[in-house]
Structure 1
């Protein structure tokens, strides 16, 4: 089973509302069922240190968190940490202007941390030999609105994998791609 399949399966199991019909407007004679509301969506277009496009990530408000979807390319093959960072600024070449991990609840880093994890911690990405990866993942208990605070937020891909426990970064290495989170049009 691929990483993508595992992430999708985990998301569906942890958030049953995603597996339900999002709703189709009912015919006029079927009663007064309101049309579904468009959920809040943001996006980040990621670039590498040379300014080369590496793809886009969208984040959509879901009933129990945020659904993160992405298609990335032009990345080094292998495992890479993937996080939301606290500041919406991506100055190359090191992207340190994105600040630390998005962590409004002041928890420790990593899915394996007994004290919880940062709201911006996400599963590692497995980039294929072709430099591409696609993914869907749910970040529970996160609100899209919180990513658009006064200093914004950014999505960052790291050089190494996240070990899921070393605080504060997961020993993920340097930042190799970054994108500022913005409202989707």
Structure 2
């Protein structure tokens, strides 16, 4: 049943990419398989673009119910058990941390995910910046990781929102 739920969630971005003749086409730019800290695959992350707007859709299962910090990390490595190899938040412009920061958030700051009591969650977020800047930063020499934390990001604490340990990680790969 879990495998079916993950497969169904993974198909959501494909359905979202359908467009009519009057809409801009959606292009798949990259994806990641997101795995739990025990190595079990939990779902996917899809990087999509419509014109200059870039979005990231994550669909995962098997995480504890409730809110979780959700970030892009500087290095495309997800070595278990703690995913420390992914480095810190992706912050190419040196901005302060947090969606509540007066000067705005950085590229790696994403809204918290909220998992249902079943452990399922899906979320689509629009990334900050131009398409070219985002692609340059995400697919640089050492890549980028999508990270889910045990606790919610508090939106203000430097440098990472006090979101706790890293519980799921995926390496973005260019399509």
What do residues 75-113 of structure 1 show as CA deviations (whole Å, max 9, x unaligned)?
A: 111100000001000001110100010110011110111
Q: CA deviation at 1:37?
A: 6.6
Given candidates 144, 147, 150, the residue that maps to 1:156 is 147
Answer 1 or 2: which has greater strand percent.
2
Report whether the alignment pairs 1:180 with 2:168: no
Given candidates 91, 98, 108, the residue that maps to 2:79 is 91
Residues 1-185 of structure 1: pairs in structure 2 closer than 5 A: 24=21, 39=27, 41-142=29-130, 143-184=134-175
Can you give the 5+ residue segments of structure 2 that lack an aligned partner in the other structure?
1-17
CA distance in 1, matches of 2:76, 2:84: 11
- Partner-residue secondary structure (3-state), 2:137: helix
CA distance in 1, matches of 2:129, 2:80: 31
CA distance in 1, matches of 2:59, 2:25: 25
Aligned residue pairs, count:
154
Q: Is the 8 A contact 2:28 2:46 kept in 1?
A: no
Pair 1:22–1:37, CA change in 2 (3 A): closer
Q: Is the 8 A contact 1:59 1:144 kept in 2?
A: no
Q: TM-score, normalised by structure 1?
A: 0.77
CA distance in 2, matches of 1:44, 1:165: 27
CA distance in 2, matches of 1:79, 1:38: 29
Pair 1:37–1:80, CA change in 2 (3 A): closer
What do residues 41-72 of structure 1 show as CA deviations (whole Å, max 9, x unaligned)?
A: 11111111110011001011333432111211
Q: CA RMSD in A?
A: 1.9
Q: Is the 8 A contact 2:57 2:124 kept in 1?
A: yes
